Amino acid sequence: HKKLVPFPEDFLWGSASAAYQVEGAMEEDGKGLSVWDEFVKIPGKTFKETTGEVAVDHYHRYKEDVQLMAEQGLKAYRFSVAWSRVIPDGHGEVNEAGLQFYENLIDELLAHNIEPIVTLYHWDIPQALQDKYKGWESRQVIEDFTRYSTILFERFNGKVNYWVTLNEQNVFTSHGYMMGSHPPGVKDPKRFYEANHIANLANASVIKAFRELEIKGKIGPSFAYGPTYALDSKPENQLAADNNETFNAHFWMDVYVFGKYPKLAMKWLEENNLAPTIEEGDYALLAEGKPDFMGLNYYRSSTVEHNPLDGVSEGKMNTTGEKGSTEAGGVPGLYKGTDNPFVEKTNWDWDIDPTGLRIGMRRIDSRYELPILITENGLGEYDTLEEDGSIHDTYRIDYLKAHVKAIQETISDGVEVLGYCTWSYTDLLSWLNGYQKRYGFVYVDREENDEKELKRYKKDSYHWYKKVIENNGVTD
């Protein structure tokens, strides 16, 4: 057995959310529309046509939600700012009421000794910028995103110590431009690599601005990563796993940390006429974007095997972990997703693999030598609200307990981990899956087509996590 060292005293026991998924108040107090507000209006895009118009009404109930956090002893709360709430058209006038909402939320958290972790971008680019210049496909977004971020840095400097730049760049670009399942619904690999490169530049530009303005605290991206395994020890399958790590993990994290794309990936992109346009000065900018930590969103690992060059697969790239495994698809000649017979799966067919979190963090640590902030991890499941208002989510406790243990083992391996944000604090709107796929410690009573009273109920996992925080780790 591994000898375990205790969690650091200042370990951030946290939880997370994203603006679109919780706030609602879609057009209140001057908020502009985002691409998600518009995208979900297209019939057939989401489960039961759900939208974030009301979501879980956090905009109006944030005090109640923070009160629940305070009672639980939560040390950190990660949330995102909706760009179009702060700058309704993305680049013009600032909406003071929008800024004030986030200031109120931050103050409320600080009043209860909860560390705010602020995500600048969780997928909701203002629709106005999409209309004006195609959002992430134009280099103009670099300047606009930097200006928006700078406004937040300056306003909240000294109050916020942890900033997350882009949430899961690999997911929003691949789903938005390769698979077409997220806005803007494009399926074009060339446009995907171009938009992704521009997002890389925007990420670096914001970090550069953060340094130049000497903003207090730490900044880094949140990346959706889970390790890739080979199906077996057949060398061809090992090579496929290697390819997957290169294309779905190093392809992003190398750019964040080293300011350059992995050689192998660039070579392949050039051969396939997919390489992004690199302009003079791009690499210099990327080199200035080194983060202070690697934010990690971990849900699952994925498993791949060799993919012969005969067009067997769908020929699309997947994003490791987040939509990995059976959904993985693959790229002929590189890898293809396959089933891992050694792990259990959730009702949404996601591999449950706490050891994968340890492996993933060790890989990040040895390649990038940065502290890790776990910015998301959790289990999406159906929950049942009992008549007496309880929710017995033992499955969620089991999932989280196993992952907390894996984190402690990883810390004991010598890896620096700053904190752990579960996904999610309250139940919230799953982008494409409506409200039935629940992640929270706090149950929110609403259904897809029935808002009910949006009442909050503590799940069993709420009480369990309270103890974990009190004990600075799992003790039983």
* Catalytic center residues: 376
- Which of 324, 352, 124, 305 has the alpha carbon at shortest distance from 224? 324
Evaluate the CA torsion angle 56, 57, 59, 60 in order and state its sign.
negative
Contact 137, 195 (CB under 8 A): yes
Stretch that binds ligand BG6, among 191-199, 271-279, 282-290, 426-434 (CB under 6 A): 426-434
Q: How far apart are the C-alpha atoms of 237 and 336, rounded to whole Å?
A: 9
- Which residue in the set 157, 412, 433, 436 belongs to the binding site for ligand BG6 (CB under 6 A)? 433
Concatenated DSSP letters for 234-295?
-HHHHHHHHHHHIIIIIHHHHHHHHSS--HHHHHHHHHTT-PPP--TTHHHHHHT---SSEE
Q: Write the binding mask 179 to 208 for ligand BG6: x where contact by CB under 6 A, - elsewhere.
A: ------------------------------
351 in contact with ligand BG6 (CB under 6 A): no
Q: How many angstroms separate the CA atoms of 407 and 409, rounded?
A: 5
Q: Is 326 in the site for ligand BG6 (CB under 6 A)?
A: no
Per CB under 6 A, the segment of 41-49, 206-214, 397-405, 427-435 that binds ligand BG6 is: 427-435
Among 223, 431, 435, 462, contact with ligand BG6 (rule: CB under 6 A)? 431
What's the closest the beta carbon of residue 422 comes to ligand BG6, in angstroms?
11
376 binds ligand BG6 (CB under 6 A): yes
Among 196, 205, 248, 297, binds ligand BG6 (CB under 6 A): 297
Q: Provide the minimum distance between the beta carbon of 431 and ligand BG6 in the complex, in angstroms, as a whole number.
A: 5
399 secondary structure, DSSP code = H
CA atoms within 13 A on the CB side of 67: 8
Site string for ligand BG6, 252-291 (x = CB under 6 A): ----------------------------------------
79 near ligand BG6 (CB under 6 A)? no
322 binds ligand BG6 (CB under 6 A): yes
Tokens of 287: 């080199």
Under the binding rule (CB under 6 A), the answer on residue 168 touching ligand BG6 is yes
Site string for ligand BG6, 10-29 (x = CB under 6 A): --------x--x--------
Buried b (16+ CB within 10 A) or exposed e, 220-248: bbbbbbbbbbbbeeeeebbebbbbbbbbb
| CB 183, min distance to ligand BG6, A | 14
237 or 297: CB nearest ligand BG6: 297
Q: What is the CA radius of gyration of the chain?
A: 21
Q: What one-character DSSP code corresponds to residue 321?
A: T
Stretch that binds ligand BG6, among 112-120, 132-140, 385-393, 425-433 (CB under 6 A): 425-433
Span interacting with ligand BG6, options 89-97, 131-139, 234-242, 430-438, rule CB under 6 A: 430-438
Give the C-alpha separation, 282 to 300, whole Å.
Answer: 33
The answer to whether 457 touches 389, Cβ cutoff 8 Å, is yes
Residue found by looking up tokens 């791949």 in the block: 304
Q: Is 380 in the site for ligand BG6 (CB under 6 A)?
A: yes
Residue 167 makes contact with ligand BG6 by CB under 6 A? yes
- Among 6-14, 103-111, 166-174, 389-397, which window interacts with ligand BG6 (CB under 6 A)? 166-174
CA atoms 226, 231, 232, 233: torsion sign? negative
The reply on whether position 320 binds ligand BG6 by CB under 6 A is: no
CA dist 256 and 10 (Å) reads: 26
Of residues 12, 105, 152, 224, which one binds ligand BG6 by CB under 6 A?
224
Distance, CA of 284 to CA of 278 (rounded, Å): 11
Partners of 115 in beta bridges: 76
| Burial profile 151-182: b = 16 or more Cβ within 10 angstroms, e = fewer | ebbebbeeebbbbbbbbbbbbbbbbbbbbeeb
Site stretch for ligand BG6 (CB under 6 A), options 143-151, 187-195, 281-289, 428-436: 428-436
What is the nearest approach in angstroms of ligand BG6 to the Cβ of residue 445? 19
* CA distance linking residue 27 with residue 169, whole number of Å: 26
Q: Of the two residues 182 and 358, which places its CB atom closer to ligand BG6 in the complex? A: 182
Nearest residue to ligand BG6 on Cβ basis: 430
* Minimum CB–partner distance for residue 297 and ligand BG6 (Å): 6
Cβ-based nearer residue to ligand BG6, 248 or 408: 248
Q: Is 437 in the site for ligand BG6 (CB under 6 A)?
A: yes
Binding footprint of ligand BG6 on the chain (CB under 6 A): 18, 21, 167-168, 171, 224, 297, 322, 376, 380, 423, 430-431, 433, 437
